[in-house]
Amino acid sequence: DIQMTQSPSSLPASLGERVTISCRASQGISNNLNWYQQKPDGTIKPLIYYTSNLQSGVPSRFSGSGSGTDYSLTISSLEPEDFAMYYCQQDASFPTFGAGTKLELK
Amino acid sequence: EVQLVESGGGLVQPGSPLKLSCAASGFTFSSNWLNWIRQAPGKGLEWVASINPDGSSTYYPDTVKGRFVVSKDNAKNTGYLQMNNLRSEDTAMYYCARAYDGTPSWFAYWGQGTLVTVSS
């Protein structure tokens, strides 16, 4: 199985701040990396697929990048609705998720 | 609008079976992979089953292989997860998720989940 190491596990930040969440795979995943947002009520929303492609309706302040084993999600200017959990997921093989990053208001 | 609605969760004793359903609407159900993902209380996401569009192939991680069976009825637009010999560690919210067109496991649409609690 491909292991996904996500960091940080917790990220205090302020409104308007730029933040980056990282995800490292235990082996190369050829850009097969997706990002999801989970709100406190459990609702899960796909954000980015195949490293850098925004899902329809996702604001342009979200972006993704990376290659090989290292990937990242960046939010350019935090809005109130962005404070949530974020998960990376690889689908180069049987899907596995990172442990999550809790983006919280500083 | 794509909708996925899970049902069938509840409180069961260890060793018991339970069958979850995922009612789909707003898309051609027979065209997409269907997946089940779970989340234990306070924990992260874990993929537990996938089935291809026509239902002929299924996949599981080792944690549930031999105990869980995924299926889909394309005529009823409904997917299922039969869970057997349940353990306390299977306690979780179970989500069904539809994959994006032509892919098995980019989870483009999610349901709201159904809670399974395994306890004596």
Of B104, B107, B112, the CB nearest to A46: B107
Judged against a pLDDT cut of 90, whether residue B24 lies above it is answered with yes
Mean pLDDT of chain A: 97
Quick check: A81 contacting B, CB < 8 Å? Answer: no
Judged against a pLDDT cut of 90, whether residue A74 lies above it is answered with yes
pLDDT digits (tens, 9 = 90+) for B36-60: 999 999 999 999 999 999 999 999 9
pLDDT digits (tens, 9 = 90+) for A17-53: 999 999 999 999 999 999 999 999 999 999 999 999 9
Do residues B82 and B16 lie in contact, with contact meaning Cβ atoms separated by under 8 Å? no
Note the pLDDT of residue B103: 87
Do residues B113 and B100 lie in contact, with contact meaning Cβ atoms separated by under 8 Å? no
Do residues A65 and A74 lie in contact, with contact meaning Cβ atoms separated by under 8 Å? yes
Taking CA–CA distances from A6, the nearest residue in chain B reads B44
In percent, the amount of chain B with pLDDT more than 70 equals 100
Taking CA–CA distances from A49, the nearest residue in chain B reads B106
pLDDT digits (tens, 9 = 90+) for B67-82: 999 999 999 999 999 9
User: SS3 of B118, please?
Assistant: strand
* CA-based end-to-end distance of chain B: 40
